[in-house]
Structure 1
C-alpha cells in the first residue's frame, strides 16, 4: 500500500511464483512474490486488498474487478484503506493545516464511497467480503503485538530499518515540500501499515493471508533474501491489470 499521492511504482513482479489462474483472468495477471506465496494463494484462506486514498487507480470499477477476482479464490477478503497520517502526508507536501485536513477528508469520503459501491456491485462472490479502515484495527491485540515486534526490529535490525527507509525514499522521491518532512511523514505512514504487510494473519486472526497489490512493493524487494520479519503465513501477490 503506497502513499496517498498518485505514484508510479517500480515495474517489478513475479520474482518467485508463476502466474495463477482464477475467474477474472481476462482482467488480471497474478504473480505471487515467491513460491511460498503461490502456495498461500492456492490455499486461499484470506486476501487483503490494500487501498490508498487519493490514488486514482482504485476506481469503483477496478475495485469491483478486484473483489470479483479475489472473491472467487479466497474464503474471505478484506479491503483495507489507510485513513491515518493522510493529513500529515499532505502537510509534508506543502499544504497548510487547513488544506491538508480538507484534502484528507475529501480523499477518505471518496474512497469509502467507491469501496461501498464496488462491494454492492459484486455482492454475489462466494467469499466473505468486508471493508476496514486502518484506524479500526490499531487497537486489535494482534495489531498491537505485531507493531511492538516491528518497532523492536526497526530499532535492532539494520536490514529492516534500511528496507523501510529505502521504500519510503523510493515512493516520496523529489516531490513538493521539504524532503525531510516528506520522509518523516512517509515513515509514519509505512509504520502504521507494516503489521498488515508483514503479519496480517496475526492482526486479523486468520490462518494465512495474501496481500494483493498492483505493483511489487519496494519494501519486499529490499527484504528479499532476508525475510525473517515476515511472519509465517504471510504472502504477497502482484495483481496487475492486463
Structure 2
C-alpha cells in the first residue's frame, strides 16, 4: 500500500533515517520491526501497538527477534553454563509467546504479519552470503569494527555492574549477536524476496551512520531503508537526512 503521509494522531512515530528511507517507507511494501529479547521496552501491549502500526502502513510485516547467541551472552556475563541455558530458554520462550500473541491478534491468517526468530534465516542463501560479507567487513575494515564495538558498548552498558569493564569474551559474543542481525539492515529484500523493506527499531544506532554513509564500504542496498520507531510521547530525534 502506498502511504502519502503517516497519520499524526498515532501512538507511534516513524522517523526515516534518510530522505531515501522515507521514500521506501512511503512505498509501504514491507517492514521489519526488530524485537530485542529481554528488553523491557517490548511489553505485550507495545508489541500489539507495533504490529497494528505495521499493518496500517505496510503490505507485509515481520516482527523479528534475535534467538541466536543468547545463551552464550548470559555465560559471557558470568552465569554458569547450565544457568545461562535456562535463562536463555526462559527469555526466548517469553518473547516468542508475546510476538506470537501480537501476530495472531493482528492477522490470524498469517498472510500479512509474521513473527520470526533470526535462526529461521540461517538456511536462506542470501542471508548466509550477507552474513559472510558482514564478518569479512568486521575483520578487514577498521570503521566497521569500530561501529560494531560501539554497538557492543551500547548493548552491554545496561547489563554490567557499575564500574565493571567489558572483557574480550563479552565483546566477542556481542559481536556475533550483532553480526547475526546486520544482514536485515543491509538487504532484507534479497533475503525475503520483497520489493523493498524498512527496518525499524526504537533507538538510533551507530550502525545506521555506517550503512547509509557515502562512498565505498558496507552499505545498505538501494531498496533497503531504516527508521526509528518510537512512541509519540518521546522526544523527536531529528528529521531525515
Bin for the TM-score computed over the shorter chain: 0.7 to 0.9
CA displacement 1:194-233 (0-9 Å, x = unmatched)? 1112221111121111011111112213555347521221
Query: In the TM superposition, what is the alpha-carbon distance from 1:102 to its structure 2 partner?
Result: 0.6
- 1:21 matches 2:11: no
Query: In the TM superposition, what is the alpha-carbon distance from 1:69 to its structure 2 partner?
Result: 0.7
- 1:73 matches 2:63: no
Counterpart CA distance in 2 for 1:160 and 1:207 is 27
- Report the TM-score, using the length of structure 2 for normalisation: 0.84
Q: Which of 218, 229, 237 does residue 239 from structure 1 map onto?
A: 229
Within a 5 Å distance, the mapping from 1:40-55 to structure 2 comes to 40-55=24-39
Aligned to 2:152: 168
**RMSD of equivalent CA atoms:** 2.2
Q: What is the total number of aligned residue pairs between the two structures?
A: 222
Counterpart CA distance in 2 for 1:55 and 1:92 is 18
Counterpart CA distance in 2 for 1:59 and 1:136 is 23
Query: In the TM superposition, what is the alpha-carbon distance from 1:234 to its structure 2 partner?
Result: 1.0
Query: In the TM superposition, what is the alpha-carbon distance from 1:51 to its structure 2 partner?
Result: 0.8
Conservation of the 8 A alpha-carbon contact between 1:71 and 1:126: no
Conservation of the 8 A alpha-carbon contact between 1:74 and 1:127: no
Counterpart CA distance in 2 for 1:232 and 1:72 is 24
Q: Which of 184, 204, 214 does residue 216 from structure 1 map onto?
A: 204
Unaligned ranges ≥5, structure 2: 233-241
Aligned to 1:185: 173
Counterpart CA distance in 2 for 1:125 and 1:30 is 26
Conservation of the 8 A alpha-carbon contact between 2:12 and 2:230: yes
Conservation of the 8 A alpha-carbon contact between 1:146 and 1:202: no
